[in-house]
Amino acid sequence: MADEQYVRYQDDKTVLAAIGACVAAQAGPITVHLPGPLAEAAVAAWNREETTEPPQETPDRHALRDAAAELALIGLAIEERGRREGEGVTVELDVASAGAAARAVR
């Protein structure tokens, strides 16, 4: 029974990927304005050096590390093409990075 579930989940992932291809074709970069401290924290995450391999992770810790990696990629985008505007930074993010940030709110 469990194997049948995972076959369905794989089918679901295939459909999700097809939807993602449609979204990517229709959605360009998303321009966002971030407060300065948030932009600086994202850039700091990008510039941080992780020198040790993570130990065997629980699913929760893996998800946490994945979120930190998404933040670092936003930091890279800010470093490469962010523009200071007043007290904040405006940057174009790809839809995947914007979506990762939106999912982190949950």
Bridge partners, residue 30, by sequence: 93
pLDDT in tens, 3-32: 888 899 999 999 989 988 888 888 889 999
In the chain, % of residues over pLDDT 90:
60
Q: Is the pTM of the predicted complex or chain greater than 0.85?
A: no
Q: Could you give the CA distance from residue 29 to residue 4 in angstroms, rounded to a whole number?
A: 38
CA-to-CA dists, residue 88 to 32, 34, 47, angstroms: 10, 5, 19
pLDDT classification of 50: cutoffs 50, 70, 90: confident
Q: What is the dihedral of CA 27, 32, 76, 51, to 10 degrees?
A: -110
